[in-house]
Structure 1
Amino acid sequence: MAPEARIKILLKTSATALCAGVVVLSSFSLGAEAARRHYRNHHHHHPPQLPAAPLRALPYPQLPLPFEIPGAQYLPLAWADVKGWSDDDHLAAYKTFRASCRSINAQNGAAEPKAEPKALGGSLSEPCRAAKPLEITDDAKAKTFFEENFAPLRISRLGEPDGFVTGYYEPVLEGSRTQTEIYNVPVYRRPSNLFVRGYKQDSVSLPNKGPVYRKIGRRKLVPYYDRGEIEDGKIAGRGLEIAWLKDPTDLLFAQIQGSARIKFDDGSSVRLNYDAYNGYPYTAVGRILIERGIIPKEEMSMHKIREWMAQNPDGAKELRRQNRAYIFFREVNLSDKDEAVGAQGIPLTAGRSIAVDKSLHVYGTPFFIEGELPIESERAKTPFHRLMIAQDTGSAIIGPARADLFFGAGQDAGRVSGRLRHPMHFVMLVPKGLDPSVRAARLPVPDPRPTEKIAKLFPQTDPSKGMTKPAATAGSADNKNETIATAGPVPLPVPRPAIEPASEPRRPVKNRPHRQQ
C-alpha cells in the first residue's frame, strides 16, 4: 500500500477514536451530575429554607415626635378629624385649664423651679402664659384658644386601639368625732413613724407608689403594717383618729376615692383628702368578685359591691383584706361649695377633671375623651365627647390612655361614677411649642450686619478696594494713639525655583591588576 493511503487511514482511525472518547467522557460527566443531584435530594444536604418573618401590624403607626411616652402609640390628627370636638363646652374646659395654670405658673415662678422629666415637660408653660391675660367669656374664643395653642394627638397603649375610663367621686358620709357603739370605725391620719425615702416626714401628700417603711428607733426600717394589721388595732390608741364611721365599707370606698366629706350630728363637717398610703399595691375588690364568679363582669358596679358586702359581713371582711393597701387622710380647709382637692393641689371641677398616671403625664394636660358612657342609667349609651384636664392621680390609674373621670360629691355622683368601666378614644392636646417647625419659626432671626458694639471691637474694611492705608508716622500727632486695622489682598505663595540638582563628580576608578590564577 502506498504511504499516502496509509497516512489517510491512520488519521481517519484517530479521529473516530477521539470522538468516541469525547462521547464517553460526556456521558460520565452527565451521570456524575445526575448522581450528585439524586444524592442531595435524598440525603437532605441542601440548606433549609427559613420561613419569612410575619409582619406585625399596629392599629396606626408609631410616629417620630419630639417627645416619647413609654408604652404609647400616637396618631396626629387634624381638628376636623376629632369627633365631637365642635359640640363640646370649650369655655368650661378653658376655665378648668386656667385653674391648672395657676399651679403651673406658681411652680415656674419659684426660686427653684421643679424639674419635669415627663414627656411634655414644662411645655405647658407657654399655653398658660398665653391664657393668663385673656378674659374669655364665650365658647367660640375658648375653642379658638385651644386650636391655636395645641395640636391633637390620638394616643393609646401599644397594640390597643382605645383607652379605658372609670369614674370617681367624693363620698358624703355620716360620722362622729368620738367613738360610740354605732360609730366605731376609725379614720386615721398619717402616723409619725411612717417613712418614705426622699421625703420629709412632715411633707404633705406623700406619693401613692413605691415602698413605705415603719421607722423603729433612729435607723431601723421595716415594711409598714398592711390593712389587716391596721384593722386589728396595730396603730389604735395613738391619737390618730380624725373621725369615726358606721361601716368599714364606707371607709374602704372613701380610701378608694381618695377624699370624703364627713357630716356630724351637730351640723358641722370635715373635709378629708389623701395624705399617704402604707406601701402595698392596690387590689381591686371588684376584680376578685368577678374572678370568684360572684358578680358577672357585665353587671359589676360599685353599687353591686356594696350590696354584696352588706349581705355578707364575714365575706366582706375577708374581701377587704385582699386589698392590703391602706390610705391615711388629712383635714383640708374647704367650704361645702368647693370640690375635693386633687393631686395638683387645686380644687377639682366636676365633669372636667380627670385622674391620670402621674408617672407618664403632666398635671394640666388637656385630654379630649370620646365614646359612649352609661351616664343616665346602667343600660344607657349616652354620647360622651368632652375636653377634660389632668389634675389628679390614683394608684389604680396606670397607662398612657387611662383616666378616672371626676363627677363631684354625693350619692348621685357616686351612682354615675360607680358604673363606669368602658373603653374610650383619647386625644391628647400637645402644646404647639413642641412641634420642631413651630419651635424653629419662633427662633430670633440673626442680624444681617454686626451691631455697633461688635463693629467697634472688630473693625472691618472693604476688601474690594485692595488698598492698605499707610502706617502712621511717629511724628504725626493725629495718629499718636490710634490703631488702624487694614485688610488687603492675600499674596500668593512664591513657587519653588526650578533648579536642577548638582551632579556629584564621579570618582576615578583605579585599574588594579588581576590576580593571576
Structure 2
Amino acid sequence: MAPLFPQAVIEPTGFADLPGWAQDDHAKAFAAFRRSCGSIARKGDLVTPSRPVFAALRPICARAARLPKNISDQKAQAFFEKEFRPYTIAALEQANGFLTGYYESEVEGSRIRSGEFATPLYARPGDLVIESPPGGGPPTNKSGAFRKVEGKLVPYHDRAAIEDGALGDQGRVVAWIRDPADAFFAHIQGSVRVRLPDGEVLRLNYDGHNGQPYTPIGRLLIERGLVPREKMSMDAIRAYIAAHPPEGRELMRQNRSYIFFRIAHELKPDDGAVGAQGLPLMAGRSIAVDKAIHVYGTPFYLDAALPTGLEGASEPFERLMIAQDTGSAIIGPARADIFFGAGTQAGTVAGRIQHPGRFTLLLPRALDPARARVPLPKPRPAQAPRALLPAAVSETP
C-alpha cells in the first residue's frame, strides 16, 4: 500500500491562515465544484478501486446538490469550511508548487481547404490505439498510443511525420486554418474556436493524442540563447516563429507530441473549453492537475503573486479553484495550470504565468491523510513508451 499523496509533504493549516480566504468569491468556486459533482455522481473514479478522496467526495456532493443553485457567498464559504480541512501540499524538498496558465484561442478557418486556409486540424485517426492504464479505467496522461503494423502495436507517428503526410487515408480534417503556429498552440492548449467565413464558430476539443513526448519549445529557445529566460512567454514564442519562419517550423517539430480534435456540439456559446473531466471549464476557477495523483473535483486554494494586472503587473492571486482538467506538462502533487478563458486577452495573461505558488489542498473531513492509503499501481511493461495526454497544457520552459 502507498500513502495518499506519495512524494509530497502535506501539513494541516487553518482557513484563517489562508491569505485572502475571507475575501474570495466562494459562490463562484461552489458553482464550479457542483459542476464537478455532477460528473462524480454519474461516473466512477479513474481507477479501481476508487481512491479515498473520490469516495469521500461523493457524500459531500450529495449534500451540495441539496443547496440552492444561487447560493450566497457566505453560505458557500461556510459549506467549504464545514465539509473540508485545509492542508498545504508541496513536492518533497520544495517549499512551493508551480503555476502556469492556459486558455482557448479563436482563429479564422474553413471546413474546406483553400489557398488561404491550408493548415489542417485533424480528427482522431481510425488506426489510433490508446492503451488503458493498469487496473482498467480511461487513459491517463501517461498512457501509450499505438498503431498496428503487421499485427503488432508500434508507437504512433510523431509530429514531423504527421505534418509530412504519414496519416494517409487515416487523416480526416475537422477544420482548415491559416497559420501553422495557431495549429501548434491549439495542440498545446487542447482546444480552439474556429470562426468560419459565414460567422459560425466551431468549438474543437481534445479527442486523442499520439503518445509522443511533449517538449516545451520555450525551453529550447532559452537553451539556444534566442530568448532570455526573464522575457519568455507565449507571445515571445509566437514572435520568434513569425520572424523566423523556417527556423520556427523546425522548432515546432521538435515537440513530437500531437493531438487530435472533435467538434464539441454540446457546448453553448458562453461555455469554456471541455476539460478532461468532461465538463466545460470555468475561467478563473478551473485548474488542470496531475490526475495520477489528484481526483477531479478536489478544491485547491492557490496563493501566489502573478502577472495578471495591467501590462503584466504583479497582483495577488488568492483563489479557491477546482481540479477539472489535466495536461502533459502537469506532473507532481503541487503543479497546476490555471484556465483563464477564451480569446486574445486570456491568451496574453495565460502566456505570462510561470510562477511559484502556495498550494492548499481541501480534503474531505472524513479523511485522515496520515492514515489513508491507496493500492500501489502495477508495474508498467518495460517496453511501453512514456506518453502524454495534452488535454490542456501551457507552454512551460
Report the TM-score range of the alignment, normalised by the length of the smaller protein: 0.7 to 0.9
Please show how residues 228-247 of structure 1 align to structure 2 within 5 Å: 228-236=160-168, 238=170, 240-247=172-179
2: distance between equivalents of 1:164 and 1:311?
30
Aligned pair partner of 1:317 in 220, 236, 249: 249
2: distance between equivalents of 1:416 and 1:402?
18
Please show how residues 444-463 of structure 1 align to structure 2 within 5 Å: none
Please show how residues 90-169 of structure 1 align to structure 2 within 5 Å: 90-107=26-43, 115=48, 118=51, 120-135=53-68, 137-169=71-103
Aligned residue in 1 for 2:304 = 371
1: distance between equivalents of 2:274 and 2:167?
27
2: distance between equivalents of 1:241 and 1:188?
4
Distance 1:113 1:315, change over 3 A: closer
Q: Secondary structure at the match of 2:89?
A: strand
Q: CA shift at 1:67, angstroms?
A: 4.9
Gaps of 5+ in 1: 1-65, 440-517
Distance 1:239 1:171, change over 3 A: same
Q: TM-score, normalised by structure 2?
A: 0.88
Task: Report the count of equivalent residues.
Answer: 366
Greater radius of gyration (CA): 1
Distance 1:121 1:230, change over 3 A: same
Letter in 2 for 1:182: E
Q: Is the 8 A contact 1:173 1:261 kept in 2?
A: yes
Aligned pair partner of 1:430 in 363, 367, 377: 363
Distance 1:206 1:275, change over 3 A: farther
Gaps of 5+ in 2: 373-397
Q: CA shift at 1:126, angstroms?
A: 2.1
Letter in 1 for 2:36: S
2: distance between equivalents of 1:113 and 1:374?
34
Distance 1:370 1:296, change over 3 A: same
Letter in 1 for 2:16: A
Q: CA shift at 1:216, angstroms?
A: 2.6
Matched, 1:189 2:132: no
Aligned pair partner of 1:297 in 197, 215, 229: 229
Aligned residue in 2 for 1:328 = 260
Aligned pair partner of 1:76 in 12, 20, 32: 12
Aligned residue in 2 for 1:388 = 321
Letter in 1 for 2:94: E
Q: CA shift at 1:407, angstroms?
A: 0.7
Which string of whole-angstrom CA distances, capped at 9 and with x for unpartnered residues, describes residues 385-414 of structure 1?
Answer: 000000000011011000000011111110
Q: Secondary structure at the match of 2:214?
A: coil
Q: Is the 8 A contact 2:107 2:195 kept in 1?
A: yes
Letter in 2 for 1:268: E
2: distance between equivalents of 1:263 and 1:436?
47
Identity among equivalent pairs (%): 50
Letter in 2 for 1:308: Y
2: distance between equivalents of 1:340 and 1:346?
8
Kindly report the root-mean-square deviation, in angstroms, between the aligned alpha carbons of the 2 structures: 2.2
Aligned residue in 2 for 1:286 = 218
1: distance between equivalents of 2:168 and 2:140?
24
Which structure has more relative contact order (CA 8 Å, sep 6+)? It is 2
Letter in 1 for 2:79: F
Q: CA shift at 1:313, angstroms?
A: 0.5
Which string of whole-angstrom CA distances, capped at 9 and with x for unpartnered residues, describes residues 439-476 of structure 1?
Answer: 9xxxxxxxxxxxxxxxxxxxxxxxxxxxxxxxxxxxxx
Q: TM-score, normalised by structure 1?
A: 0.68
Please show how residues 204-219 of structure 1 align to structure 2 within 5 Å: 206-217=139-150, 219=151
Q: Is the 8 A contact 2:194 2:203 kept in 1?
A: yes
Distance 1:418 1:205, change over 3 A: farther
2: distance between equivalents of 1:347 and 1:335?
9
Which string of whole-angstrom CA distances, capped at 9 and with x for unpartnered residues, describes residues 468-491 of structure 1?
Answer: xxxxxxxxxxxxxxxxxxxxxxxx
Distance 1:163 1:198, change over 3 A: closer
2: distance between equivalents of 1:206 and 1:429?
26
Give every structure 1 segment of 4 or more consecutive aligned residues whose post-TM-superposition deviation is greater than 6 Å: none
Higher strand share: 2
Please show how residues 489-508 of structure 1 align to structure 2 within 5 Å: none
Aligned residue in 1 for 2:336 = 403
2: distance between equivalents of 1:113 and 1:347?
19
Q: Is the 8 A contact 2:131 2:143 kept in 1?
A: no
Letter in 2 for 1:433: A
